[in-house]
A = this chain, B = another copy of it.
Amino acid sequence: MAEPEPSSPRRSDSVFTRPPRGRRSQPALTRDRIVAGTIALLDREGSAALTMRRVAAELGVHATSLYWYVARREDLVDLAVDGILAEAAAGLPGPEEPWDLAVRTTARRFYAALTAHAWAAEFAGVRPLLGPNALALSRRIVAALGDSGGGEEAQAVAIRALANQILGAATTTVAMRVGAAAGGGTEDARAAAVSAADALAVENAYFDQVIDLLLAGIRARSAG
């Protein structure tokens, strides 16, 4: 549906500069194209759609072709999750920001990216987040806690607590959305229903409060 026909050699800019180009045109597939296609498919059809065959179909190619670029299905998962974290990892708070504000905005961006793509929150609970964007987000929080006034041990505990909180909050948020959608047929649920925009605002407000609770604990500890 409206997909640029896969065999078209529309390669844009660098086609005139780098490659030998005499014998053969560039490959139809690239890792980036695969990641983009995977994310598009997941956004459209949800986590269950992540199969080698359907990703391949999204790209106008056969499932087995993907194995030239990734070793297994899990790699596709990891690449897609880290892909949607790019938005969150770009434009992190600078080093001049107060530590607690830096923690809060970084955590919020992390959480927002995971919940903006429900499939990402689902996968994040089952795969470790080790991609470059996830690491950049983690490192910003680690750096912020270095200014929190606590000792090394206290910082290590705080880091874990924040990581658990971000992941747990994202996971339970999307689980609650599913539950709300599934129960949406009942009268009670319908009576309690609010607009999607309001629901999102409520979710975000809860997340901020939960992070603030943790920050209060960190401050209480470093003051003690």
Task: Give residues in A with beta carbon < 8 Å to B.
Answer: 122, 125-128, 157-158, 160-161, 163-169, 171-172, 175-176, 178-179, 206, 209-210, 213-221
Contacts and interface: CB of A to CB of B under 8 A. Distances in A.
Copies of this chain, whole number: 2
Contact of A165 (B158, B165, B209): B165
Contacts of A161: 165, 210, 213-214
B169 A209 contact: no
A163 B167 CA distance: 11
Given A157-B210, A168-B163, A125 B128 contact: no
B214 A213 contact: yes
B214 A220 contact: no
A142 B49 CA distance: 37
9 contacts: A125-B126, A128-B176, A128-B179, A164-B167, A164-B210, A168-B169, A216-B221, A217-B218, A219-B220
